[in-house]
Amino acid sequence: MSGAIVVRCRGVTRTYQDDAVPVRALRGVDFTVDKGDFVSLAGPSGSGKSTLLNVIGGLDRPDSGEVEVDGVQLNDLSESELSDLRLSKMGFVFQAYNLIPVLSALENVEFIMQLQGVEAVERTERARAALSALGIGELEHRRPGELSGGQQQRVAVARAIVTEPVLLLADEPSANLDSTTTTELLKLLRTLNETRGVTIVAATHDPLVMGFAKRQVNLHDGMIAEDSANAVPD
């Protein structure tokens, strides 16, 4: 690690309504992530891990407190500026995949690069390399509806990593994957983390994902209950 801080949260709170009942999802969270770290956010359902991930990604705004990503203060950014920041610095893996149904796997992976203005030939080369790295290169022309859940998840991961973002945010990245495919995916993420310095924060219930992370942060009732280093497996 370089010691540079990629994520900084100070006193972050977030309350949302659940059937008109206020739920305090985050309660004054202080949290930092150094460049090159691989952090798992763990905890039971309702602990606040997905909310914290969404706040870091600028998908949710905190009620109070400050959020900073790669030196940029998110609180005062407009929606357009947040979108530009996500496009230039972040990659996302969502539990629901969020693939575009009318596009092929290859086109889905190319899409973010197209928004970034990457030339067509380079887009295609990089997208094919990402799909091949995840073992689904032969499925590049299939649309999401023609893929299994696990295959769609791998397309989503390829889309997230193809731009080599400063920060990769993953919400249950092993959802719908068997243990073998999950291990392959985690090895790929670890390689990206260790050789290219991509910082990763993953919200997860999966002990396998937790075990691959360098650091585990446990949340409970919207607060950080434990923050510890992991012994990373070979």
Domain ranges of the chain: 5-229
pLDDT grade for 8, boundaries at 50, 70 and 90: very high
Sequence-distant (6+) residues with CB within 8 A of 81 are: none
Contact assessment for residue 169 and residue 93, using Cβ atoms and an 8 Å cutoff: yes
User: Is domain 5-229 in CATH 3.40.50.300, yes or no?
Assistant: yes
pTM over 0.75: yes
For 164, the 3-state DSSP assignment is: coil
Share of the chain above pLDDT 70, in %: 97
pLDDT grade for 2, boundaries at 50, 70 and 90: very low
pLDDT grade for 122, boundaries at 50, 70 and 90: very high
Reported as a single tens digit per residue, the pLDDT across 95-108 is 778 899 999 999 99
**Is residue 188's pLDDT more than 60?**
yes
**How is residue 127 written in tokens?**
């997208």
Quick one: pLDDT at residue 139? 97
Reported as a single tens digit per residue, the pLDDT across 29-77 is 999 999 999 999 999 888 999 999 999 999 999 999 999 999 999 998 9
Indicate left, alpha or beta for 230 from its phi (over 0: left) and psi (-120 to 50: alpha). Answer: beta
Quick one: pLDDT at residue 191? 85
Mean pLDDT, residues 3-20: 90
Mean pLDDT, residues 139-163: 91
Residue 158's nearest CA partner among 186, 127, 181 is: 127
Contact assessment for residue 51 and residue 41, using Cβ atoms and an 8 Å cutoff: no
